[in-house]
Homo-oligomer: A and B are copies of this chain.
Amino acid sequence: MALEHAILVSLLEKPGSGYELASRFDRSIGRFWTATHQQIYRVLKRMEADGWITAEEVAQEGRPDKRVYSAAAPGRDALTAWLRAPVEPETVRHELAVRIRGAAFDPAGTAGLAAEVERHRAAHAALLARYLAGERRDFPDPDVLDAAQALQHVVLRGGIEYERMTVAWLDDVLATLRRLG
């Protein structure tokens, strides 16, 4: 379980409301950890009750008020304790792979699967393009970064390489399906 910790990292990088966190999880943090606003609000409450974060009510004009959260000392301590505890390499869940192996048992053949694979390929190619655009925008000069930025950049490079590899693999899958069909 790491949603707490992902939120702590995000709040340490920049304080924000539940709503703002939800939109960050839809963009930058969401690259490697997804969360919906329902989850986020629930966890924020618990973290505030535990003293990991503090909230400040901010009145706004023309918009609803919001609660801006910041990481507190106990939260920072919890994060560093978690950072030092070793974790096992992730367990992968790759539904498309299940479908590809399952396609061998579909009496209708592999045509439907090919269309589905094309869809995934397009989605991953679009994400790759977005990551590359984000890299050009946020890291135009990769040699002059502070520690936090250098670490953000290397994580982004991981996302880029993952998408690149996935697009290439899906091309391999499509070529294999074509050979079979």
A residues sitting closer than 8 Å to B (CB atoms) are 2, 5-6, 8-9, 12-13, 31-34, 76, 79-80, 82-84, 86-87, 89-108, 110, 112-113, 116, 119-120, 123-124, 147-148, 150-155, 157-158, 161-162, 164-165, 168-169, 172-173, 176, 179-180
Contact = CB atoms under 8 A, between A and B. Distances in A.
Contact of A154 (B94, B151, B168, B176): B176
Contacts of A169: 157-158, 161-162
Give 8 closest A-B pairs by Cβ, nearest first.
Answer: A32-B94, A32-B97, A104-B148, A34-B91, A165-B165, A154-B176, A9-B102, A158-B169
B180 A83 contact: no
Q: Which residue, of A8, A102, A104, A148, has the highest number of chain B Cβ atoms within 10 A?
A: A102
